[in-house]
Homo-oligomer: A and B are copies of this chain.
């Protein structure tokens, strides 16, 4: 990339992973960051453990079908906390605003953020507001950080997938990214495509209760989509995945939009879905609990973990064929979140 940051570095793919490990992990050098999960777990002074996470939001447009940058910022941070099994507690909000931004939009976004936080049971306890000159930002960027309380005895981590484990997906993929792209390209479909942006902490609570120690890890397939998430997990656990295309829920309208936009739903970001890896003994109970929750109604077992030195994600396609699902295939989708 010629010694410069390019859009691929922000796409959730291999270029980003290399940037994080080559620059940030080395510079910040500590075992918490090296856990390599979407959140860091650490012991708290009085006993017990907490987690911390952060995300920047640069989504364009700021308002999109199914949400806005404010609700998205809450959902994304709540979800990265929840993927560890922790109970989300408090969030921070850093606003970077471009000069000239309409105060009415700022209020609408802050109100939406507050509503999303209340609905998810978290409080935004601290914030910051910076203004940069016209042309030096793009309306509004929000960075949230969040902390949560980790129950004793839970040890979910991306390095825990083992051959034989079952891979579960909570619902249809591609909704968020396609909603953003469609609204950006001004596409209209018969069935409106809404972002799936949602707080998953309630679903996670039900999953932990149902599967107990059988649950090995959870991750939300955001930037880079399901493909990036499975490749990340394969890498982190030193395993391969074998998934069934037919088992992966994709809404017909999302499939149609992907066709039109030249996207593969496997690479498209989600903001209200999760992937879980569970030992076979816990899979049925987990799926039942997920399906009983509104945000997991279409939960499906989509494949298994396999031994694979090359850490490939292999997918069985329609007529018994197969292909390798790489995390760099498909278009780069900047500003999706």
Contacts and interface: CB of A to CB of B under 8 A. Distances in A.
Interface of A: 1, 3-11, 16, 19-20, 23-24, 27-30, 32-33, 39-40, 42, 44-48, 50, 52-58, 89-90, 92-104, 106-107, 110-111, 113-114, 117, 123-133, 135-138, 141, 143, 145, 147, 149, 334-335, 337
Nearest to A47: B46
Given A46-B48, A90-B40, A145-B92, A58 B104 contact: no
Closest 3 pairs between A and B when the two form their complex, measured CB to CB: A10-B131, A145-B145, A143-B143
Contacts of A114: 27-29
B7 A99 contact: yes
Given A4-B100, A10-B129, A54-B126, 14 more contacts: A5-B98, A6-B100, A19-B129, A23-B103, A30-B124, A40-B90, A40-B125, A40-B126, A56-B95, A58-B96, A94-B143, A126-B145, A131-B334, A147-B147
A93 B96 CA distance: 15
Contacts of A90: 32, 40, 42, 52
A106 B58 contact: no
Contacts of A55: 94, 128
A150 to B, nearest CB: 10
Contact of A97 (B9, B40, B94, B110): B9
5 contacts: A6-B131, A27-B110, A32-B125, A46-B47, A58-B96
Contacts of A44: 44, 46, 50, 149
A28 B132 contact: no
A312 B271 CA distance: 49
Contacts of A335: 132-133
Contact of A131 (B7, B20, B39, B132): B7
